[in-house]
Structure 1
Amino acid sequence: MFRKSLRVKIVTTFIIIVHISLFLSFGISLLITEREVTIEKPFLAIAQDVASLLAITEPERRDQVIDILSDYNIHGEMIQEENELPFSLTEEEAAPLFQSGISEPLFLNTEEGPVRFIGVPNIDNTGNSMILKVDFTGFLKVMHRILLIVLFSVLVIGSLLILLVSHYIVEPVKKLTSAAKEMAKGNLSFRLKHRRKDEIGELMDSFNHMASEIQKVDKMREDFVSNVSHEIQSPITSIRGFTRAIRDGVIPVEHQKEHLDIIYQETLRLSKLSDHLLRLASLDSENHPFHPVEYRLDEQLRRIILVTEPLWIKKNLDIELDLLACRVMVDRDLFEHVWQNLITNAIKYSGDNNRIVVQMENTGLAVLVHIMDTGRGIPKEDLPYVFDRFYMVDKARSRSGGGNGLGLSIVKKIIELHGCKIDVKSEEWKGTCFTVSIPL
């Protein structure tokens, strides 16, 4: 667990990166420092300044000046051409110093490094020349030591700071882990509290949003199970009660047919409920057979009107069609279910002698199908829930008519599966209008 800890990984990664950075920085600093002290121009300027200083100094006090310069790692010797060469210089190296026509300082050793030998010819017009040994070895050692101390201090301080900062980074991750464990235990109301405005804060907000959505889904699941149980239990109770009454002879023979008709209707209701549940489960799984084909939408609507003719003739309804010749690319069987459900609902909730209008409208981008009735309408407070599963505006009337509150849910699911839209407008006691929009 220690090796897998996020905090350990953060600290380790930081230290590795810092080590690499310090190593590269130290190497670059060495190169820059050595390069700076081996540039020829500053050396020559030093030699010229020393020569100028000695030129204005009395001959008997020049040795004192040279001793003072040695404190700064600048060693000098006054020589003439016939003298022995100092600093182990060879005659070949010192030869350029005594050439005629040379008046400016010049290097006597050609290799670059922290130790350079510079010759200054004829500094006082008496034939005296000077050889300077400029040694920056000690200076470089001090600079390297300071650089190492600074870099090591950066490493130690940075490591301590990352230990503190890693706690700030890892702590919210631990909170997320604890929250996930709480949700795994079934505590879906658990929420994370924070004041962060960074990416971690966004992650916590996303977690809270996910928890809210899961809680809603769980509530819908509970409601779904409860509604299904109720919808199944109600017809089963009726069937069990009437069959027992017939079996025990409680119901006279002459009345048994009436009760057998009720039992038959309840079995149909159960069959319809199971069919709707299976269809809804198939649509929810997104594995439902989906076969879009191109066909005439207006012909399909005319056929649905003809199929439902016994229903609207029974109520003496006036059916008005305003259709356009239009071809669409959708699953024909699924949309057959959509139109049958919407038109059947319009008939069911219309009073006798009312009017139903089926109208098509082509906007260029989509075809709109309006199914309007002049029935009792839907109360304003119920409109947002008409597509919810098992939601019924008039529960008593819906159940007596064989409804179970799943029809419009299936319709909406089919329409969304095709990337289409459905909208509903209604005014109580004036009628309802369902509008389906199918992109062209």
Structure 2
Amino acid sequence: MKIVRKSLRLRIVVTFFGIVIVSLILSFILNIRSQENTPNHSMVTIAEDIATMINLIDDPEKVKTSLNIFARYGLNITSVNEQSEVLASLPDDKVHELFDENTREAFILSNKDETAIVGVPRMNEEKDALLIKINFSSIFHNVKRTLVISLLTVLIIGSLLIMFMSGYIVKPIKRLTAAAKKMASGDLSVRLKHNNPDEFGELMESFNHMARELQKIDSVRDDFVSNVSHEMQSPLTSIRGFTRALQDGVIPLEEQREHLDIIYEETLRLSRLSDNLLRLASLDSEHHPFNLTTFQLDEQLRRAIVLAEPQWAHKNIKIELDLLPCEITVDKDLFEQVWQNLINNAIKYTGPDGVIHVAIEMSPSSVKVSIRDSGQGIPEGDLPYIFDRFYMVDKARSSSLRGNGLGLSIVIKILKLHECTIDVESRVGEGTQFTVTIPRPSIAS
């Protein structure tokens, strides 16, 4: 039984055998029932016609010859009266009915063992009756033999064909199994070629799609590990180098504070990287706390601007606010992270004496928050990738500004959790504008 369960091809063949055998059994049952229910009306009609023909023959020799001819076809015809011994094996009530004066039509006296006996009353003036014994055994045997031969032929030819076709059916599954094993061993480049528009073709196309997505995920994972390693290695190298120099007394006393400040900044950089990685991991999981709160969006934006004042004041950046009073229902803490990241990015990439404009636009269905800066802008070729993790437009500039390429990844993740969208418009040398659209279903209703 285990072998049958393991092989799909064998299961197909066994199923076919089962169907044919069940069909054979049902055919025999129906055949037996048809024998038991031999058409009585037809036999009675045949008996009456034979009696009519015999009555038309006057010559006894010709009658005898005719009876012999009928006997060749399984029709045994006998003339009987009430004292005939042949009637002893028949039911008494049927015999009395046969010789009853009121009986005018032929009827069946017995119908069993593939033989029917039909009685025809009042064949002559002596009130003799005619017994016609009709034997169907040869006919039934021929039908049985033909049926058995036909079914065995179907079974043999069908089995050969199903064994051949089952190999064709199972072949794509074997290919899929082999490809899955290769993928399990780490080969994500495996693909299945096919020209089938059927369900197997759809299955193989789905497998290829899954392989492509897994390959992308594997590539992202490799890039992620590489980027994290790089982002951590850079500050660790600085910290290790400066601490070794301080331990060896290489750095003069008057310069030690400056180097200690660098070490402190590098530890802050590592801390920010760790916090961002933990936050992304939490947002990726299904168990991140999600607390919806209704609050004033304009006040939250003003508070984010105030918190960032040391950064924009140091660069003498002008802040322009166009904030309409507005309430939204989202996770307040997560949206504080969104505004902090977007505003800090705007400050980071805006030069001295630049301008940052923050505005709120309202409509019945949504609230739009735009943050526009007068910075260097983002090249058009980089725009599709700025929300990817660890992606930095200018590696050297980002390193000098202590970025790690995770801020916008956190922003897009938070906004997707709230079914919000973000659009980016940027021109090199003119600046960049991020526009966050927050749906307002409650107002729309």
TM-score normalised by the chain length of structure 1 = 0.90
Name whichever of 125-134 and 205-214 sits farther off: 125-134
The equivalent residue for 1:132 is: 132
Task: Summarize the Cα distance change of 1:301–1:112 in structure 2 as closer, same or farther, 3 Å threshold.
Answer: farther
Deviation readout 1:61-80 (Å, 9 max, x if unpaired): 11211211122211111345
Q: Which residue of 1 aligns with 2:72?
A: 71
CA contact (8 A) 1:30 1:144 kept: no
> Aligned pair in 2 of structure 1 residues 125, 201: CA closer, same or farther (>3 Å)?
farther
More displaced 10-residue stretch of structure 1: 250-259 or 408-417: 250-259
In structure 2, do the counterparts of structure 1 residues 85 and 10 end up closer, same or farther at CA, with 3 Å as the change threshold? Answer: closer
Residue 74 and residue 326 in structure 1: after superposition, are their counterparts in 2 closer, same or farther (change >3 A)? farther
Q: Displacement of 1:42 after TM fit?
A: 0.7
Q: Does 1:337 align with 2:374?
A: no
Q: Report what 1:34 is aligned to.
A: 36
Q: Find out whether 1:57 has 2:57 as its counterpart.
A: yes
Note the alpha carbon deviations across 1:67-109, whole angstroms, 9 max, x for none.
1112221111134567665684466433333333544322234
Letter in 2 for 1:257: R
Using the TM superposition, give the Cα deviation of residue 113 of structure 1 relative to its aligned residue in structure 2, in angstroms: 6.5
Q: TM-score, normalised by structure 2?
A: 0.89
**CA 10–85 in structure 1, closer or farther in 2 if over 3 Å, else same:** closer
Shift of 1:327: 2.9
The 3-state SS of whatever aligns with 1:158 is helix
Local SS of the residue matching 1:381: helix
Question: What does the per-residue CA deviation read over 1:213-259, in whole Å, with 9 as the maximum and x for residues that have no partner?
Answer: 11111111111111111111112222233333344444433333333
Between the aligned partners of 1:124 and 1:309, the Cα distance in structure 2 is 134
Identity of aligned residues (%): 53
Once the two structures are superposed, the pairs formed by residues 179-190 of structure 1 within 5 Å of their partners are 179-190=179-190
1:437 equivalent in structure 2: 437
Deviation at 1:390, TM superposition (A): 0.9
- The AA in structure 2 aligned to 1:27 is I
Corresponding residue of 1:377? 377
Report the Cα distance in structure 1 between the residues aligned to 2:49 and 2:236, rounded to whole angstroms: 116
Distance 1:149 1:399 in 2: 87
Q: How many residues align?
A: 437
**1:333–1:153 distance in 2 versus 1, CA, 3 Å:** same
Q: CA deviation at 1:149?
A: 2.7
- CA distance 1:89–1:23, change in 2 (3 Å): closer
Q: In structure 2, what is the Cα distance between the partners aligned to 1:394 and 1:191? A: 36
1:364-403 counterparts in 2 under 5 A?
Answer: 364-403=364-403
* Alignment partners' CA distance in 1, 2:290 and 2:81: 108
1:156 maps to which residue? 156
For the residues of structure 1 that align with 2:186 and 2:94, how far apart are their CA atoms? 91
Q: In structure 1, how many angstroms separate the alpha carbons of the residues matched to 2:142 and 2:376?
A: 98
Q: Which runs of 5+ in 2 are unaligned?
A: 441-445
CA distance in 2 between counterparts of 1:26 and 1:360 reads: 85
Alpha-carbon contact 2:317-2:355 (below 8 Å) kept: yes
Q: CA deviation at 1:50?
A: 1.4
Q: Which residue of 1 aligns with 2:285?
A: 285
Which range is displaced more, 197-206 or 402-411? 197-206
2:27 alignment counterpart:
25
Alpha-carbon displacement from aligned partner over 1:104-144 (angstroms, at most 9, x marks no partner): 322234x6663222222345778564221112133223322
Q: What displacement does 1:342 show?
A: 0.5
> Which amino acid in 2 is paired with 1:5?
S
Q: Which moved more, 1:374-383 or 1:142-151?
A: 142-151
